[in-house]
Structure 1
Amino acid sequence: MLVKLGCNLTAIDIAADLIEVAKEHASADPVTSKIKYVFEPVEEHAKSNFEKYDIVVSTFVLEHVNDHDFFIQSCVRCLKKNGSIFISAISKSLLSWLIIIYWLNTF
């Protein structure tokens, strides 16, 4: 995890309950307890955090977003010049869904 490498980490989510779960998991480790959690959509976050981050990571969010272009533009707006963005999404293949179901039931 980036925070264990000394990076400042801001975690953004629109689900308050998931932020609480993440905080609970992070509280067990003094390093990860330094993560800053923000409850707002990235589209709103981008308005006051222009060119703030070196890296933006979006994991399994894109498939839940209605306006992909605006979402990605908002992520890019938060990036510093020459920053990097990493976006992952769940494939809609049957194999991918089976793997996700297995993973969710295992961990």
Structure 2
Amino acid sequence: MSLAETVSRIDSLSDDQRECVENCNEATDVCEWCADECLGDPEMEECARLCRDVADLTSMHARFMARGSAYSAILAEACAEACEDCAEECSQHDADHCQVCADVLQDCAETCRQMAGA
């Protein structure tokens, strides 16, 4: 069963929440990939650091949303801000992994902002 199929089976989540969980999980994966690709390049250290921060935050936020935590809205705000900062950093680099990461993070930031205001 895919992650999207698993998330779709969590009855307590709205469609918007499901989309945010899926975006957070995708952001986690792409940030780990981007950070790994940046390792060893001194010019990419900030990108790697931000990607690792985002991966941790988005992973935690997805888990909190899936279980209906009261702290989810607080994490949503932190995720949105971190995603925006990381997307800005990634967009400054020509590497494919950075460009993919920036695109995914923009979507994640948008859905997290919606969850922060919900």
* TM-score in terms of structure 1 length: 0.31
Q: Which has the higher contact order (CA 8 A, sep 6+)?
A: 2
Q: Normalization by structure 2: what TM-score?
A: 0.29
**Higher share in strand:** 1
Asked which structure has the greater CA Rg, the reply is 1
Q: Which has the higher helix share?
A: 2
